[in-house]
Amino acid sequence: MIKQPTTSTARRFVDQVCLITGAVGGIGTAIAGRLAAEGAVVQVADRDADACARVVEDLVLAGGRAEVRAFDLTDPDACAAAVRDVVDEHGRLDVLVNNAGVNRRGALLDLAADDWAATFAVNVDALVHLCRAVLPTMINAGQGAIVNTASQWGLSPAPGHVAYNTSKAAVVAFTQNLARDYAPAGVRVNAVCPGEVWTPMLEANLARSGRTKADLDALVPYGRVGLPEEIAALVAFLASDEAPYLCGAAVEITGAQAVA
């Protein structure tokens, strides 16, 4: 029988300050919801302030605590300033979830002039800027968790997505490097590598391709594509004190789907 995820009543992040990028998107909203439900003070980071405010409103209505952190991840100064503001206001930053991502499709000869740089600016460089900004605070605290959203395609590339796949492979390598360098300081860095997840982005792509959700579900041995809440549950586990020995892992979450 194909199961749907159950709701957790865990409270692993009470009073912890957690910054989530791409928190307005399909997976990011679920991560924000999960951490807020577990007691975190969620920093809803995304490009558009109004969209961030709507997510914050929903989280607060559900009984959580959340604040707007609107900035453009491609601006290194804005990344540093956002982290500085959070630390100034709260005196701590416990968890960073680098979840935002963009997907410019195409094989190498099909890419537009700026596709490579635009992909790396969000999917890789922003992680560098944010991690450089948060690490001193986490090192001072002697603890902290960073979770990066990579992709299954960063481990096994799907055809026709060279910029995206290579950027996500870089996320995995960056995660492993950071984990090795900062585990001695008590900072844990891990990555999640989802297969296809049922988000508005996937729904829009599907509509363009003329396929149905049932077509996609049939490609997954478990019988359906992933749900944002399932990725959020894994992110929360990796970021929590339940996973103290998980450092430098790139955890696949795919329903056993192989890349076609």
Residues with catalytic function: 164
CA-CA distance, 186 to 252, in Å (whole number)? 24
Pick between residue 93 and residue 220 the one whose CB is nearest to ligand NAD.
220
Look up residue 14 and give its two tokens. 């009470």
Applying CB under 6 A, the site for ligand NAD has a residue count of 26
Look up residue 104 and give its two tokens. 């410019």
For ligand NAD, which residue of 194, 243, 248, 254 counts as binding (CB under 6 A)? 194
Q: Which of residues 28-57 bind ligand NAD (CB under 6 A)?
A: 28, 46-47
Closest among 161, 175, 234, 199 to 5, alpha carbons compared: 234
Alpha-carbon dihedral 2, 103, 202, 54, rounded to 10 degrees? 100
β-pairing, 250-253 with 187-194?
parallel
Pick between residue 91 and residue 258 the one whose CB is nearest to ligand NAD.
258
CA-CA distance, 85 to 195, in Å (whole number)? 34
Secondary structure (3-state) at 113:
coil
Pick between residue 15 and residue 57 the one whose CB is nearest to ligand NAD.
57
Secondary structure (3-state) at 255:
coil
Pick between residue 44 and residue 138 the one whose CB is nearest to ligand NAD.
44
How many residues appear in the chain?
260
Kindly give, in sequence order, each residue whose CB lies less than 8 Å from that of residue 250, ignoring residues fewer than 6 positions away.
Answer: 150, 154, 155, 172, 175, 176, 190, 191, 192, 193
Ranked by CB distance to ligand NAD, the top (closest) residue is: 25
Pick between residue 11 and residue 218 the one whose CB is nearest to ligand NAD.
218
Is 196 a binding residue for ligand NAD by CB under 6 A? The answer is yes
Q: Which of residues 78-117 bind ligand NAD (CB under 6 A)?
A: 99-103
Is 199 a binding residue for ligand NAD by CB under 6 A? The answer is yes
Is 73 a binding residue for ligand NAD by CB under 6 A? The answer is yes
Interface region with ligand NAD, contact rule CB under 6 A, candidates 23-31, 53-61, 86-94, 206-214: 23-31
Write the interaction track for ligand NAD spanning residues 112-131; mark x where CB under 6 A is met and - where it is not.
Answer: ----------x---------
Q: E strands along the chain, which residues?
A: 17-21, 41-46, 65-70, 95-98, 144-149, 187-194, 250-253
We find the least distance from the C-beta atom of residue 190 to ligand NAD, in angstroms, to be: 14
Interface region with ligand NAD, contact rule CB under 6 A, candidates 60-68, 134-142, 182-190, 196-204: 196-204
For ligand NAD, which residue of 16, 43, 119, 149 counts as binding (CB under 6 A)? 149
CA-CA distance, 176 to 165, in Å (whole number)? 17
Q: Which residues bind ligand NAD (CB under 6 A)?
A: 22, 24-28, 46-47, 72-74, 99-103, 122, 149, 151, 194, 196-197, 199-202
